[in-house]
Amino acid sequence: MLEEVDGYQITQWGLDCYRHLDPGPPRDFRQLAALLVDYWIDKDFRRIGIGGAQGAGKSTLGRLIASAFAYAGEKVAILGIDDFYLPANERVRLANEVHPLMGTRGPPGTHEIEALLKTIDVLTDGGSTEVPVFDKARDERVGSRRIDGPVKRVVVEGWCVGASPMLGAPEDAPINELERDHDPKGDWRRSINDGLETTYRDLVNRFDQLLYIKVPHMVAVRRWRLEQEQSLPANMRKGVAEINRFVAHYERLTLWMMEDLPARADLVVHLGENHEVTSVVFS
C-alpha cells in the first residue's frame, strides 16, 4: 500500500477512500488516486494538470481521482485535452496552410487550447460551461457535455500536458521515418514548438500542481497504445503498422518530456514494464 511516499504519509481518510474505490482498475492505480487526492485536499490545490505518454493510464487515473474527490464530498471537473482536438475540417485547413502532418490529431497545434483555457477559468470562477466531446474512433467531435458549477477543483489530463518547447527540435536530424520522409526541414517540428512556447505554455501556467506519469520507454508506449485499440469495435481498430506510424507523430515530444519533466513536475509517477507504479516522487 502506498501509505507513505517521499515523506508524505497518507491519512486514515485516504486509506478509507482507497477501500471505497471501484475494484476494477489496477490496485496500484487505486492506491495512487487515493494518495493524490488526500495530498491535494491537504494542500488545497485547485487546478491540477496530469501529463504522460499515450497508454500511460491518465484516463483511468482521472476517473479514479473523480471518484476519490466524490468520496470526499467535493465536486471536481475532469477535463481531457483530447476532447479539445480541433475538428477534422480545421485540421485539414492546418494541413494545407501550415504543414501536411498537422492533419493528424495529437501534436501541439491540433488542440483548441484557448477554449480549454477559457473552460478552466469559467469553472474555477464557479461558472457552468459546455465542453466538447471528441470520438477518437471517428476522429471527430461528436457533440458536447455540460459541466454545471460550481466545482471545487479542475483536473486536466492529456499526453502533452506540461510539455515545454523541445530543445533543437527543428534543427536536429529526423528521429524516425515519419520525420525523415515528411518533415526533413523541420517545419512541422518548428510549428509544434511555436505552440509550446505560446498557448500551451499558458496552459502549464494555469496549474497549481503538475503531475507527470513517466513511462519506461517508447516500446512500452507502442505496446500499451496497441492494447488500447482492443476496446474499440473490431472494424475500427488500428493494426501494428498503423499504430507505429501514429505514435511516430508523438515520439520526439514524448522522449523530450521523459527527459525534461521529471525535473519540472511537482509530482512524478514512475511506471514499470508491466504498467505498475514503481515509485512516486513529490518535489
Secondary structure (DSSP) of 214-266? E-S-HHHHHHHHHHHGGGS-GGG---HHHHHHHHHHHHHHHHHHHHHHHHH-S
| pLDDT score recorded for residue 14 | 83
Max distance between CA atoms of the chain, in angstroms, equals: 56
- What domains sit in the chain, N to C, each tagged with a CATH number? 46-265 (3.40.50.300)
| d(C-alpha 84, C-alpha 131), whole Å | 8
Q: Which residue has the cell 511537482?
A: 266
| pLDDT score recorded for residue 3 | 52
| pLDDT score recorded for residue 8 | 59
| d(C-alpha 116, C-alpha 206), whole Å | 11
| pLDDT score recorded for residue 10 | 77
| pLDDT score recorded for residue 7 | 55
Residues of the chain with pLDDT below 50 are 1
In sequence order, the β-bridge partners of residue 47 are 154
Q: How many residues are there in the chain? A: 283
Which of 220, 215, 223, 280 has its CA nearest to residue 58? Answer: 215
| pLDDT score recorded for residue 227 | 82
Strand spans (E) along 75-208: 76-80, 129-135, 140-147, 153-158
